[in-house]
Structure 1
Amino acid sequence: MACVDEKVKVVESCIVTPSEEMPRHRLWLSPLDLMMVNRGHTPNVYFYRYASSSGVVDDIFFDVARLKAAMAKALVSFYPLAGRLGVDGDGRAEIDCAGQGAHFVVARSDLTVDDFSDCQPSLELKRLFVPRIVDDSPCVMLAVQLTFFKCGGVALGTALHHVAIDAVSAVHFFETWSAFSRAGSRENHVAQVLELPCHDRTLLRARSPPRVVHPDAVAVFWPLKDNPNISEPSPPPGPVVNEIFVVSKDQIAALKHASSGASTFCAVSAHVWRCMCVARRLAPEATTRLTFPANFRRSLRPPLPARYFGNGIIMVGAAGKVRDIASEDQLALASVAERVKEAVRGLEDELVRSTIDYLEMNGAPPASSMPETEVRIVSWLGMPVYDVDFGWGKPLTMMRAVQQRAGLIYLIDGEQGDGGVRILLSIEAEALEDFQRLLYKNL
C-alpha cells in the first residue's frame, strides 16, 4: 500500500484500456498542439459529497468497477487519451495511438469533504488528490485518482496533457465518460446519442506556403520582443498567493450595467483588470495588457466541427496605459470593457490562420513568466464543469488543483448555477488585500 503522504493512501493503481477495437495510428499534431508539449498535465479536482440514495437499489457510491468500465467505453471514441506522447522521424511531437490506456488510481483518506469546502488551489491539494505522473517516457495523456474520504465523499483528481486537448475538448470527454457511467448497462443507447469527437487535426495545418499577414499574430505570442511598450518581466516581488472570490448574480448585473451592457466575460474581465492595475501599484504611464485564450472553433471559415478534439484556442488580448485602464472616471469601466469586447470581435479566420503559420515557421515561444503589467484570464464560463455527474450527483465544487503564476485568473460559473461567478486568482501576496477591497468596492 503506497502513500501520497500520511493523509492519503493509494490502494490500487492500474491501466484502463479502450473496451473495443479503436484506430491505431500516430496522430499528427497541429502547431497549436505543439505549443503545449512542454505545458504538461493540467491538474483539476472535483469534490463529491456522499449521497445516501442515488435512485438505484444497492448502488455503491462511486463504484470503481463501474467507473472503469465507463472510461474504457469512452476511450474507444476518445482514443488519443489512451495514447502516449511520441515523436516522428523528424523529431516532431505526435501522439502514438495504440490503446496503451489511461492511468487509474484509487486511494483512501481519513479526511472529509468538509475539510476542503473552502479550500484554495495549492501544492498540497495537487499532491493529495491529483495522480502523480512519473517522468517516464513515453508520457501518458490521461490519469485520474479517485480518493474516498471517511465521510463517504469522494475527490476526483484529473491530469490531462495539454498537448492532447484544451478545456473545451476535456469537457466533452468528461461529459461522455460520466454519461456512460450514469447509463451503466445501457451504454449502447448512450453511444447512439452522444456526439463523437473529430480527430482530424490537419484542419489546423499551416497554409502552404505559410504566410503571416495579420498584424496581431506576432504580438500575441511575442509581446515582449515585438512590443516595446510592454514592460519586461521583473523579479517576483514576493510570494504568490491564491484566493477564490465569489461575485453574486446581483453584483454581476451591476457590473454589466456599468459596462454599458457588456457580456459577463467582458464586464468581469474589465473590472478585474482595473483592480489588478491599482492593487499592483503600476506606474500610470506603463502599458498594461490583458490576454486570454479564445475558442476559435466557430470563427474559422469554414468553422471547425463543434466537437473538434484538440487545441482550438489562441491567445488574444487588449492593451492600454495604466492611467486609462485604472481611471476613476465614471465611464472608465465601460471603456475598458469595450477594449475587451474588441479583442473578442477580432477573433476571426485570418488571425487564426496567421497565428498557425507563424508558429509553423518559428515554433512555440519559450516559456517565461508574465510581466507584472500583464493579466491573463482563462474563462470557463458557460462550460458545464458542474455537470460531471457519474450517477451519484453533481460535484460539490470543482477547481484547478494548483495555480502559482501571478496574474493568472480563472473565471468559473457559480457552484449552484445561481448566476454568480467564481474568480480563482493568483496574485502577489502584498497586493491581495487591495485587490479584494477594490473588487467589491461599489458593488
Structure 2
Amino acid sequence: MKRREAVAAVLPVPEQVLPMSNLDLLLPPLDFGIFLCYKKSSNYTEQSQSPESMVTVIKKALAQALVPFYPFAGEIVQNHLGEPELLCNNAGVDFVHAYADIELKELDFYHPDLSVHEKLVPVKIRGVLSVQVTELNCGGLVIGCTFDHRAADAHSANMFLTAWAEISLDKPTTHIPFFRRSLFVPRCPPQHDESIDKMYVLLSSIPPPPKEIEVSNDHLLSRIYYIKAEQIDRLQFQASENGTRRSKMESFSAFLWKTIAEGGNDLSKAVKLGIVVDGRKRLEGREEKNLSLQNYFGNVLSIPYTEVSVGELKSMTLQMAADLVHSCVESAATEEHFSGLIDWVELHRPKPAIVKVYCADANNEAAIVVSSGQHFPVTKLNFGWGIPAFGSYHFPWGGQTGYVMPMPMPSVRENGDWVVYMHLMKKHLDLVETKAFDVFRPFDSSHLKLAVDD
C-alpha cells in the first residue's frame, strides 16, 4: 500500500437521507466487486503516462463522478424500524493506491480467490464503495471496486463506471442517475400473485442449515473461464432445435444446469436454477416525464427460479431444458410481477426477506444463480490509456448457492467471446471442467492478447 485516503465529491453535496426502495430491501448486506486490468499504453506517446499520473487522473475523475453519483460517497445506516437507508453525507470513498510486484501476464485469473480477492479487489471496511488502484511491474494498472449491493445493482455500477471513465476523458456524461423512489411505491391496497410466496421467504422463517451443508461451504471456490463465440453459438443452435429461438443466455444457463446435474447420484434430488431479471424494461409504464428507468440508480431485480430432479435433467435434451429456463425468465419479465414484488415487500416490512433459491436445502443436489453481465461496459472504460485488457465481476458471496456471471470479452472488434465468472462448489467446478472442457477453458494470460485491437 502506497497511500490510503477518502475521496469525496469535488462539489458540496447537501446531507440527506435517501430511503431504500422496497426492491432494495430484498438485498442482504452483501458486497460485489469489479476489477479492470490495463496494459501499459504503447500505441501513442501522448497516452504513455507514469503510474502516478494515471492514479491522479483516476482519483480526480472519481471526485467529479461522485457529484451526480453522491450516494456512493455516503454510508448505509439503520432507521428506527431497523431497515437500512442511505445517509448521503459525502463522507467519501475509501481510496487505496497500491503496488504489486508482479506483471499483468503473471496474474492468475483462473484462481481469483488467490490473485484477486482482497488483493486487487479491496475489502470494503466502511461506506458504500471502496476503490483500489494497483500499479504493476509491467507499467500496467488494475482498478478494483467493491460496491454495497444494498445500494446499487450491476446496472447502477455500470452507469457509474462509464461516467467515471467519460469524465476522465473530459467527455459528456452519457447517463445522469436519478433516485426517485416514488417510482416503486406499492399499490393501495398491496396485492401480489401467490407465485411470489414461492420465490421469496422471510429470513426469520428459515431454519438453520443442516450440518452436512455447513461443512460443504468450505468448498465454494471462484474460477474464471473463457468461452469462444462459436461454442456459444453451438449451444444456442442445440437449444433452439424445435424452431423456437432461445437466447444465448438461456441456452448457456440450460447447458450449465444440465452439466451440474450430471454429477448427481441421487436421481430424486433437485437442481435449482435461478435467473436474475432486471426490471427496468418491465416497469417502463411507471416512468415519469424525462426520466428513463435506464438511468435509475438502485436495485431493480428479481430472481425467479426453477427446479428439476437430477434424473429428469439427465434425460432432457438441451432444447427441453432451455424451454424451462425461458419459462422461468418469462414468469418475472412483466410489470405485474415487479409490482407484485413491491407490494409483497410492503406487506412484510420491516421483516427482512430473501429469495428462496439462496436458502440451503439438504434435498437439493445443487442451487445456482445465473446473472447476465452482457451489458458490462468494459469497452467503454477507457480512462485515457485504452480499454481494459481484461475486466470481470468478482462476487464470492458465500452461502451455499452458486453464482455465475457471463460477460463480454473486452474487444473493440466485438467478436462475441465470453468471460465467465463462477463461484461454485469445488465438485461442480470439477464437473464443468471434465464434462464440458471443450466449452469452459481456464482463463489465462494468453487470452489477454485477444482482448485489445491490434
Match of 1:141 in 2: 128
Match of 1:93 in 2: 84
**Is contact 1:54–1:393 with CA below 8 Å preserved after alignment?**
no
Match of 2:277 in 1: 294
Match of 1:7 in 2: none
Structure 1's 393 and 176: CA in aligned 2 closer, same or farther, altered over 3 A?
same
Structure 1's 197 and 442: CA in aligned 2 closer, same or farther, altered over 3 A?
closer
Deviation at 1:412, TM superposition (A): 1.4
Match of 1:154 in 2: 141
**Is contact 1:143–1:160 with CA below 8 Å preserved after alignment?**
yes
Match of 1:426 in 2: 423
Match of 1:375 in 2: 368
Q: Residues 190-201 of structure 1 correspond to what in structure 2 (within 5 A)?
A: 190-191=172-173, 194-201=174-181
**Is contact 2:42–2:48 with CA below 8 Å preserved after alignment?**
no
Match of 1:310 in 2: 298
Matched, 1:270 2:254: yes
State the Cα deviation string for residues 6-55 of structure 1 (Å, max 9, x = none). Answer: xxxx111111111223343110111221232522x212222111113456
**Is contact 2:176–2:295 with CA below 8 Å preserved after alignment?**
yes
Matched, 1:108 2:99: yes
* Mean Cα deviation higher: 423-432 or 148-157: 423-432
**Is contact 1:107–1:146 with CA below 8 Å preserved after alignment?**
yes
Deviation at 1:233, TM superposition (A): 8.4
Structure 1's 82 and 226: CA in aligned 2 closer, same or farther, altered over 3 A?
closer
Deviation at 1:84, TM superposition (A): 1.2
| Structure 2 unmatched ranges of 5 or more | 288-292, 441-454
Match of 1:336 in 2: 321
Q: 1:67 is matched by which residue type in structure 2?
A: I
**Is contact 1:105–1:144 with CA below 8 Å preserved after alignment?**
yes
Q: 1:395 is matched by which residue type in structure 2?
A: P
Deviation at 1:72, TM superposition (A): 1.3
Q: Residues 110-189 of structure 1 correspond to what in structure 2 (within 5 A)?
A: 110-116=101-107, 118-122=109-113, 125-134=116-125, 139-183=126-170
* TM-score for the superposition, normalised by structure 1: 0.85
* Mean Cα deviation higher: 259-268 or 52-61: 52-61
**1:437 is paired with a residue of what secondary structure?**
helix
**How far apart, in 1, do the equivalents of 2:250 and 2:360 lie?**
24
| Structure 1 unmatched ranges of 5 or more | 1-9, 184-188
Structure 1's 225 and 91: CA in aligned 2 closer, same or farther, altered over 3 A?
closer
**1:214 is paired with a residue of what secondary structure?**
coil
Deviation at 1:396, TM superposition (A): 1.6
Q: Residues 408-427 of structure 1 correspond to what in structure 2 (within 5 A)?
A: 408-416=403-411, 417-427=414-424
Deviation at 1:113, TM superposition (A): 1.1
Structure 1's 182 and 442: CA in aligned 2 closer, same or farther, altered over 3 A?
closer
Q: Match for 2:193 among 208, 214, 224? A: 214
Match of 2:452 in 1: none
Identity of aligned residues (%): 23
State the Cα deviation string for residues 44-90 of structure 1 (Å, max 9, x = none). Answer: 22211111345637744562222222111111111111111123344
**How far apart, in 1, do the equivalents of 2:389 and 2:275 lie?**
27
**How far apart, in 2, do the equivalents of 1:90 and 1:226 lie?**
19
Match of 1:42 in 2: 32
**How far apart, in 2, do the equivalents of 1:372 and 1:256 lie?**
26
**How far apart, in 2, do the equivalents of 1:373 and 1:223 lie?**
21
Deviation at 1:354, TM superposition (A): 1.6
State the Cα deviation string for residues 388-417 of structure 1 (Å, max 9, x = none). Answer: 111111112122345255522121123433
Deviation at 1:386, TM superposition (A): 4.1
Deviation at 1:225, TM superposition (A): 11
State the Cα deviation string for residues 272-321 of structure 1 (Å, max 9, x = none). Answer: 00001112x15223333210221010112515521110001111122323
**How far apart, in 2, do the equivalents of 1:226 and 1:94 lie?**
24
Matched, 1:360 2:350: no
**2:345 is paired with a residue of what secondary structure?**
helix
**How far apart, in 2, do the equivalents of 1:422 and 1:76 lie?**
32
* TM-score for the superposition, normalised by structure 2: 0.83
**How far apart, in 2, do the equivalents of 1:270 and 1:349 lie?**
25
Q: 1:390 is matched by which residue type in structure 2?
A: F
- How many correspondences in the alignment? 414
